[in-house]
Amino acid sequence: MAVVIELLIPLAVVGLIGWGLWLWYRLRLARAEEAERMHEELNELRAYRRDTEARLQALETIATLGEGRIRVDYKDVEEPDDEARKRKD
């Protein structure tokens, strides 16, 4: 009986240490994957912000031109139908 206990205790200790190292490795792997996903999402958000800032800059440029510089060709604008106008009212 003593021989069995002398063999099982070291095996159990080695098994627990191995299991702990495996969990530690899986945790590090999960953290690395999460960091990579967050980095990609951050890059997408930065690209979206740059695009939005460019659009805002274009709108501000158009707004500063003044009414006399912007021409609207009313031939291309469709007249609203009387039926559609009645539905809105």
53, two tokens? 């800032």
- Band of the pLDDT at 44, cuts 50, 70, 90? very high
Q: Which residue has the higher pLDDT, 39 or 59?
A: 39
- Band of the pLDDT at 54, cuts 50, 70, 90? very high
The rounded radius of gyration (Å) of the Cα atoms in the chain is 34
Q: Which residue has the higher pLDDT, 62 or 38?
A: 38
Three-state SS letters, 12-46: HHHHHHHHHHHHHHHHHHHHHHHHHHHHHHHHHHH
Sign (positive/negative) of CA torsion 24, 26, 32, 35? negative
Q: Is residue 71's pLDDT more than 80?
A: no
68, two tokens? 């006399």
Burial class (CB in 10 A: 0-12, 13-18, 19+), 82: exposed
